Amino acid sequence: MEVQAKAKWVRTSPRKVRLVARTLRDLPVSEALVACSFMPKAAARDVAKVIRSAQANAENNFNLVKDDLVIKDIRVEPGPMLKRGQPRAMGRLFSIFKRTSHITAIVEDRPGTVKRRTAALPRAPQPAASRPTPAAAAAARAAAALTPATTESDEPVAPARPKKAKAAPPASKAPAEGKKTEAKKTEAKKKDDGKKDTKEKKSK
């Protein structure tokens, strides 16, 4: 059975209302109302009012079940347009059209099509062996209360790793390094001797 509700002269452009109405067709009424509450469009509030009105008409006037209602269609028709003007440069008048719309929501009862959440199933009985008796549970709690809490000193400390000794340089490298240093010293002496000879020649 179809039940409808109308809202006339709604101060919203029909183009904006149709964007919302297009997404709500063939949805259960409860889901459509939830979707309208989360939509970031102002027209969603006007559409939600009409859907609630159609739901109330079906429930109170025709004794239909609230949970079986589905939105069959939402029609949006243009209403009368209010013409206003805005004065602009050089004495011109720019026209402003304040549009209105007529919204019609049609709901239909479809029993069995709306998926309802099933009731929670009863839990399977657990075997008696796995269940601790009240006396055993109380004894376990008492034992846990008597055991002292662990501190930092009680925790095991990992043994420190021994440091590796640095290996001595091989004997073959030592004389080679000594030779290099001696060669550098002899070169420095030769340079100093050359400088002294030039100074003596100049003084003569």
The answer to whether the pTM exceeds 0.85 is no
Task: Tell me the per-residue pLDDT of 178-190, one tens digit each, with 9 for 90 and over.
Answer: 555 666 777 777 6
Binning the chain into helix, strand and coil, the percentages to the nearest 5 are 45, 20, 35
Task: Tell me the per-residue pLDDT of 141-156, one tens digit each, with 9 for 90 and over.
Answer: 888 887 765 555 555 6
Residue 78 predicted with pLDDT over 60 = yes
Backbone angles phi, psi at 104, to 5 degrees: -125, 120
pLDDT at site 112: 77
| β-bridge pairing 101-109 and 69-78 | antiparallel
28 forms beta bridges with: 70
How many C-beta neighbours within 10 Å does residue 46 have? 19
Task: Tell me the per-residue pLDDT of 85-126, one tens digit each, with 9 for 90 and over.
Answer: 999 999 999 999 999 999 999 999 988 766 655 555 566 666
Query: From CA 58, how far away is CA 67, in angstroms rounded?
Result: 11
> Residue 195's pLDDT band (boundaries 50, 70, 90)?
low
Contact partners, residue 98, CB within 8 Å, separation at least 6: 11, 81, 82, 83, 84
What domains appear along the chain, each with residue ranges and CATH number? Answer: 2-109 (3.90.470.10)
As a whole number, the mean pLDDT across the chain is 81
